[in-house]
Amino acid sequence: MKIAIGNDHVGIELKAAILNHLKTKPNLEVIDCGTNSLERTDYPIYGKKVAKLVANQVADLGILICGTGVGITLAANKVPNIRAVVCSEPYTAKLSKEHNNTNILGLGSRVVGSNLALMIIDEWLAAKFEGGRHKKRIDMLEV
Ligand code: RB5
């Protein structure tokens, strides 16, 4: 499985913890889309970069980080076939995959600590889309 990860300057520290965590998982390749600089930058750049990799099936899933997770997730959702969700607890993360087949997870580095973020990621990665009645609904999201 390939995971694309992207963040603005506020997400650098949390990304480091996430990269360390993902390293421990077998059969998982990470594509780091930056930023890796603390210089102030703009979250839409990285939100769209990751979203395009996922939409073009270069990556299977994406993880995005900014201060709240909101801006970078909004940017990703502008790309067709992207269903990005910002989560600050694991229940929504799990259900967002099972019911909404989310393909990008957004996290707020100013909202969640790293341990909680890793728990959210693990729940999200382990969850499987249930299909069935949910398939029709996610198809209806595309305009
Ligand atoms: C940057 O200060 C901040 O606005 C950004 O990281 C994010 O929280 C936007 O949604």
Chain segment 3-49, per-residue pLDDT in tens? 999 999 999 999 999 999 999 999 999 999 999 999 999 999 999 99
Q: What is the mean pLDDT of residues 118-131?
A: 98
Rounded to whole angstroms, the Cα distance separating 132 from 17 reads: 36
Tell me the fold of 2-141.
Answer: Ribose 5-phosphate Isomerase B; Chain: A, (3.40.1400)
pLDDT tier, 54 (very low <50, low <70, confident <90, very high otherwise): very high
Chain segment 111-120, per-residue pLDDT in tens? 999 999 999 9
Catalytic residues: 66, 99
Q: What is the pLDDT of residue 29?
A: 98
Q: What is the pLDDT of residue 142?
A: 86
Write out residues with Cβ below 6 Å of ligand 1.
8, 10, 43, 66-68, 70-71
15 CA distance to ligand 1 middle (Å): 15
Looking at the DSSP bridge assignments, the partners of residue 2 are: 29
- Predicted model pTM: 0.97
Single-letter residue type at 114: S
Residue 139 burial class via C-beta count within 10 angstroms: exposed 0-12, middle 13-18, buried 19 and up: exposed
Domain boundaries of the chain, sorted by first residue: 2-141
